[in-house]
Amino acid sequence: MTQLYQDNLAQLYDAAVPDWPGEIDFYRNLAQEDVDEHHSILEIASGTGRVAIKLAQAGFQVVGIDLSQDMLSIARAKSASLKNVTFVQADMRSFDLNRDFALALVPAYSFQLLLTEKAQKTCLEKISKHLIPRARLVLHLERQDPDWLASLPSDSYTPFEASGETTHPHTSQLIRVSYAWSFDQALQSVAVIIRYETIDPSGRVSERVDREPLRMHCTSARRLESLLVRAGFEIEERRSDFASDSAPDASDEMIWIARKRP
Protein backbone atom coordinates (compact mmCIF):
# COMPACT_ATOMS: atom_id res chain seq x y z
CA MET A 1 0.00 0.00 0.00
CA THR A 2 1.26 3.48 -0.78
CA GLN A 3 1.51 6.62 1.32
CA LEU A 4 -1.73 8.41 0.36
CA TYR A 5 -3.82 5.31 1.06
CA GLN A 6 -2.19 4.83 4.44
CA ASP A 7 -2.93 8.42 5.34
CA ASN A 8 -5.62 9.44 7.58
CA LEU A 9 -7.59 11.86 5.39
CA ALA A 10 -7.88 14.16 8.39
CA GLN A 11 -4.12 14.75 8.08
CA LEU A 12 -4.50 15.78 4.46
CA TYR A 13 -7.37 18.10 5.42
CA ASP A 14 -5.18 19.63 8.08
CA ALA A 15 -2.37 20.24 5.59
CA ALA A 16 -4.55 21.42 2.73
CA VAL A 17 -7.07 23.90 4.19
CA PRO A 18 -5.65 27.42 4.59
CA ASP A 19 -7.16 30.27 6.61
CA TRP A 20 -9.40 32.66 4.66
CA PRO A 21 -7.85 36.14 4.27
CA GLY A 22 -8.51 38.11 7.47
CA GLU A 23 -10.47 35.24 9.03
CA ILE A 24 -8.51 34.70 12.23
CA ASP A 25 -8.13 38.45 12.92
CA PHE A 26 -11.87 38.81 12.42
CA TYR A 27 -12.70 36.10 14.97
CA ARG A 28 -10.04 37.42 17.36
CA ASN A 29 -11.49 40.96 17.19
CA LEU A 30 -14.98 39.66 17.97
CA ALA A 31 -13.56 37.67 20.88
CA GLN A 32 -11.79 40.77 22.18
CA GLU A 33 -15.11 42.64 22.13
CA ASP A 34 -17.26 39.92 23.69
CA VAL A 35 -15.28 37.36 25.68
CA ASP A 36 -13.93 38.08 29.16
CA GLU A 37 -11.84 35.85 31.44
CA HIS A 38 -15.00 34.22 32.88
CA HIS A 39 -16.29 33.04 29.51
CA SER A 40 -15.18 30.86 26.63
CA ILE A 41 -15.56 30.60 22.88
CA LEU A 42 -17.42 27.64 21.39
CA GLU A 43 -16.33 26.39 17.97
CA ILE A 44 -18.80 24.05 16.30
CA ALA A 45 -17.31 21.35 14.03
CA SER A 46 -13.80 22.41 14.99
CA GLY A 47 -12.04 19.82 12.82
CA THR A 48 -8.29 19.70 13.35
CA GLY A 49 -8.37 22.91 15.39
CA ARG A 50 -7.40 25.33 12.61
CA VAL A 51 -9.39 28.21 14.20
CA ALA A 52 -9.75 27.09 17.84
CA ILE A 53 -6.02 26.69 18.41
CA LYS A 54 -5.18 30.14 17.04
CA LEU A 55 -7.79 31.73 19.31
CA ALA A 56 -6.38 29.80 22.27
CA GLN A 57 -2.89 30.98 21.34
CA ALA A 58 -4.29 34.53 21.47
CA GLY A 59 -5.21 33.87 25.11
CA PHE A 60 -8.91 32.92 24.93
CA GLN A 61 -10.54 29.87 26.53
CA VAL A 62 -11.90 27.76 23.69
CA VAL A 63 -13.98 24.58 23.44
CA GLY A 64 -14.27 22.84 20.08
CA ILE A 65 -16.76 20.11 19.29
CA ASP A 66 -16.50 17.73 16.36
CA LEU A 67 -17.94 14.37 15.38
CA SER A 68 -14.80 12.87 13.87
CA GLN A 69 -12.36 11.07 16.14
CA ASP A 70 -9.63 11.41 13.47
CA MET A 71 -10.04 15.19 13.31
CA LEU A 72 -10.20 15.46 17.12
CA SER A 73 -7.02 13.40 17.55
CA ILE A 74 -5.08 15.80 15.33
CA ALA A 75 -6.56 18.84 17.07
CA ARG A 76 -5.60 17.44 20.49
CA ALA A 77 -2.07 16.55 19.37
CA LYS A 78 -1.54 20.02 17.86
CA SER A 79 -2.75 21.75 21.03
CA ALA A 80 -1.11 19.46 23.61
CA SER A 81 0.92 22.33 25.07
CA LEU A 82 -2.12 24.62 25.48
CA LYS A 83 -4.21 24.49 28.65
CA ASN A 84 -6.99 26.81 27.43
CA VAL A 85 -8.41 24.73 24.56
CA THR A 86 -10.46 21.54 24.84
CA PHE A 87 -11.83 19.33 22.09
CA VAL A 88 -14.96 17.28 22.73
CA GLN A 89 -16.51 14.60 20.55
CA ALA A 90 -20.11 15.66 19.95
CA ASP A 91 -22.69 15.99 17.23
CA MET A 92 -23.60 19.60 16.44
CA ARG A 93 -27.29 18.60 16.33
CA SER A 94 -27.43 17.10 19.81
CA PHE A 95 -24.59 18.32 22.03
CA ASP A 96 -24.98 19.31 25.67
CA LEU A 97 -21.88 20.76 27.31
CA ASN A 98 -23.78 22.04 30.35
CA ARG A 99 -22.21 25.51 30.24
CA ASP A 100 -22.65 28.93 28.60
CA PHE A 101 -20.38 30.62 26.09
CA ALA A 102 -19.91 34.26 25.12
CA LEU A 103 -19.23 33.64 21.42
CA ALA A 104 -19.98 30.75 19.04
CA LEU A 105 -18.31 30.18 15.68
CA VAL A 106 -19.18 27.79 12.86
CA PRO A 107 -16.31 28.35 10.39
CA ALA A 108 -15.44 26.87 7.02
CA TYR A 109 -18.92 25.99 5.69
CA SER A 110 -19.37 23.24 8.31
CA PHE A 111 -22.97 24.29 8.92
CA GLN A 112 -23.79 23.19 5.35
CA LEU A 113 -22.87 19.62 6.25
CA LEU A 114 -26.30 19.56 7.89
CA LEU A 115 -28.39 18.57 4.91
CA THR A 116 -31.88 19.56 5.95
CA GLU A 117 -33.38 22.76 7.29
CA LYS A 118 -34.71 20.76 10.25
CA ALA A 119 -31.19 19.63 11.21
CA GLN A 120 -29.87 23.17 10.75
CA LYS A 121 -32.60 24.63 12.98
CA THR A 122 -31.96 21.99 15.65
CA CYS A 123 -28.27 22.87 15.58
CA LEU A 124 -28.95 26.62 15.88
CA GLU A 125 -31.27 25.98 18.84
CA LYS A 126 -28.57 23.86 20.52
CA ILE A 127 -26.04 26.64 19.98
CA SER A 128 -28.48 29.21 21.36
CA LYS A 129 -28.94 27.12 24.53
CA HIS A 130 -25.18 27.29 25.08
CA LEU A 131 -24.93 31.09 24.78
CA ILE A 132 -25.31 33.87 27.30
CA PRO A 133 -27.98 36.48 26.36
CA ARG A 134 -26.87 38.78 23.50
CA ALA A 135 -23.87 36.56 22.70
CA ARG A 136 -22.83 36.49 19.07
CA LEU A 137 -22.87 33.59 16.65
CA VAL A 138 -20.83 33.65 13.42
CA LEU A 139 -21.81 31.30 10.60
CA HIS A 140 -19.46 31.10 7.62
CA LEU A 141 -21.14 29.60 4.57
CA GLU A 142 -20.61 29.34 0.87
CA ARG A 143 -23.09 31.23 -1.31
CA GLN A 144 -23.45 29.03 -4.37
CA ASP A 145 -24.35 30.70 -7.64
CA PRO A 146 -27.75 29.30 -8.78
CA ASP A 147 -26.59 29.32 -12.43
CA TRP A 148 -23.51 27.28 -11.54
CA LEU A 149 -25.61 24.83 -9.52
CA ALA A 150 -28.05 24.44 -12.43
CA SER A 151 -25.11 23.67 -14.74
CA LEU A 152 -23.92 20.72 -12.62
CA PRO A 153 -24.88 17.15 -13.50
CA SER A 154 -27.33 15.42 -11.16
CA ASP A 155 -26.56 11.74 -11.83
CA SER A 156 -22.80 12.03 -12.41
CA TYR A 157 -19.93 14.39 -11.57
CA THR A 158 -18.14 17.16 -13.46
CA PRO A 159 -14.58 16.35 -14.56
CA PHE A 160 -12.03 16.97 -11.76
CA GLU A 161 -10.69 20.50 -11.66
CA ALA A 162 -7.50 21.35 -9.78
CA SER A 163 -8.13 23.75 -6.90
CA GLY A 164 -4.69 24.05 -5.31
CA GLU A 165 -1.53 22.36 -4.11
CA THR A 166 -0.13 21.54 -0.71
CA THR A 167 2.81 19.72 0.81
CA HIS A 168 2.29 16.30 2.34
CA PRO A 169 2.68 16.60 6.15
CA HIS A 170 5.00 13.55 6.40
CA THR A 171 6.68 13.01 3.04
CA SER A 172 6.95 16.70 2.02
CA GLN A 173 5.88 15.61 -1.48
CA LEU A 174 3.71 17.93 -3.56
CA ILE A 175 -0.01 17.06 -3.33
CA ARG A 176 -2.51 18.40 -5.87
CA VAL A 177 -6.10 18.82 -4.66
CA SER A 178 -8.95 18.66 -7.22
CA TYR A 179 -12.74 18.72 -7.01
CA ALA A 180 -15.57 17.09 -8.99
CA TRP A 181 -19.14 18.29 -8.42
CA SER A 182 -22.72 17.11 -8.67
CA PHE A 183 -26.01 18.81 -7.66
CA ASP A 184 -29.19 17.29 -6.29
CA GLN A 185 -31.99 19.76 -7.02
CA ALA A 186 -34.59 18.00 -4.87
CA LEU A 187 -32.36 18.01 -1.78
CA GLN A 188 -30.76 21.36 -2.66
CA SER A 189 -27.35 19.88 -1.95
CA VAL A 190 -24.07 19.71 -3.84
CA ALA A 191 -21.83 16.66 -3.60
CA VAL A 192 -18.10 17.08 -4.06
CA ILE A 193 -15.43 14.41 -4.48
CA ILE A 194 -12.06 15.66 -3.28
CA ARG A 195 -9.10 14.06 -5.10
CA TYR A 196 -5.56 14.10 -3.69
CA GLU A 197 -2.68 13.32 -6.07
CA THR A 198 1.00 13.01 -5.31
CA ILE A 199 3.04 14.81 -7.96
CA ASP A 200 6.55 13.42 -8.43
CA PRO A 201 9.56 15.66 -9.23
CA SER A 202 9.06 15.12 -12.98
CA GLY A 203 5.48 16.46 -12.69
CA ARG A 204 3.82 13.05 -13.10
CA VAL A 205 1.01 11.80 -10.84
CA SER A 206 2.53 8.94 -8.84
CA GLU A 207 -0.47 8.26 -6.63
CA ARG A 208 -4.14 9.23 -6.40
CA VAL A 209 -6.89 8.91 -3.80
CA ASP A 210 -10.52 10.11 -4.01
CA ARG A 211 -12.52 10.84 -0.89
CA GLU A 212 -16.09 9.65 -0.43
CA PRO A 213 -18.45 12.34 -1.79
CA LEU A 214 -19.05 15.11 0.72
CA ARG A 215 -22.55 16.60 0.64
CA MET A 216 -23.27 20.24 1.43
CA HIS A 217 -26.63 21.96 1.67
CA CYS A 218 -26.98 25.03 -0.56
CA THR A 219 -28.61 27.68 1.57
CA SER A 220 -29.80 30.98 0.14
CA ALA A 221 -29.37 34.22 2.09
CA ARG A 222 -33.13 34.62 2.44
CA ARG A 223 -33.63 31.13 3.88
CA LEU A 224 -30.72 31.41 6.22
CA GLU A 225 -31.91 34.74 7.59
CA SER A 226 -35.34 33.28 8.26
CA LEU A 227 -33.79 30.22 9.92
CA LEU A 228 -31.62 32.32 12.25
CA VAL A 229 -34.60 34.43 13.28
CA ARG A 230 -36.79 31.37 13.90
CA ALA A 231 -34.02 29.83 16.03
CA GLY A 232 -33.91 32.85 18.35
CA PHE A 233 -31.22 35.08 16.82
CA GLU A 234 -31.29 38.60 15.45
CA ILE A 235 -29.09 39.46 12.49
CA GLU A 236 -26.37 41.98 13.19
CA GLU A 237 -24.49 41.87 9.89
CA ARG A 238 -23.95 39.84 6.74
CA ARG A 239 -20.54 40.07 5.07
CA SER A 240 -18.98 38.73 1.88
CA ASP A 241 -15.46 38.50 3.28
CA PHE A 242 -13.58 38.82 6.55
CA ALA A 243 -11.10 41.50 5.61
CA SER A 244 -12.98 44.36 3.93
CA ASP A 245 -16.36 46.07 3.87
CA SER A 246 -17.48 44.80 0.45
CA ALA A 247 -21.19 44.57 -0.29
CA PRO A 248 -22.84 41.40 1.13
CA ASP A 249 -23.25 39.83 -2.33
CA ALA A 250 -19.77 40.70 -3.58
CA SER A 251 -18.34 37.19 -3.32
CA ASP A 252 -19.21 33.50 -2.92
CA GLU A 253 -18.87 33.77 0.85
CA MET A 254 -21.70 34.43 3.32
CA ILE A 255 -20.55 35.39 6.78
CA TRP A 256 -23.45 35.94 9.16
CA ILE A 257 -23.04 37.66 12.50
CA ALA A 258 -26.10 37.20 14.68
CA ARG A 259 -26.93 37.80 18.34
CA LYS A 260 -28.94 35.60 20.63
CA ARG A 261 -32.18 37.41 21.43
CA PRO A 262 -32.59 37.97 25.18
Ligand X SMILES: C[S@@+](CC[C@H](N)C(=O)[O-])C[C@H]1O[C@@H](n2cnc3c(N)ncnc32)[C@H](O)[C@@H]1O
CA 45 – CA 104 distance, rounded (Å): 11
Is 72 or 102 the residue whose CB approaches ligand X more closely? Answer: 72
Distance, in Å, from the CA atom of 192 to the CA atom of 189, rounded to the nearest integer, reads 10
The H or E element that residue 14 is part of is helix 9-16
Q: Which is nearer to ligand X, 46 or 61 (CB)?
A: 46
Nearest distance from residue 17's CB to ligand X, in Å?
A: 5
CB of 217 to ligand X, least distance (A): 12
Side-chain half-sphere exposure of 36, counting CA atoms within 13 A: 2
For position 73 contacting ligand X by CB under 6 A, the verdict is: no
Q: Find the shortest distance in angstroms from Cβ 102 to ligand X.
A: 19
For position 108 contacting ligand X by CB under 6 A, the verdict is: yes
Give me the DSSP letters along 235-254. EEEEES-SSS---TTSSSEE
State which of positions 182-241 bind ligand X (CB under 6 A).
Answer: none
How many residues comprise the chain?
A: 262
Give whichever of 179 and 206 is closer to ligand X, judged by the CB atom.
Answer: 179
Rank residues 7 and 66 by Cβ distance to ligand X and give the closer one.
66
Beta bridge mates, 237: 257
Task: Return residues touching ligand X (CB under 6 A).
Answer: 17, 45-47, 50-51, 65-68, 71, 91-93, 107-110, 113
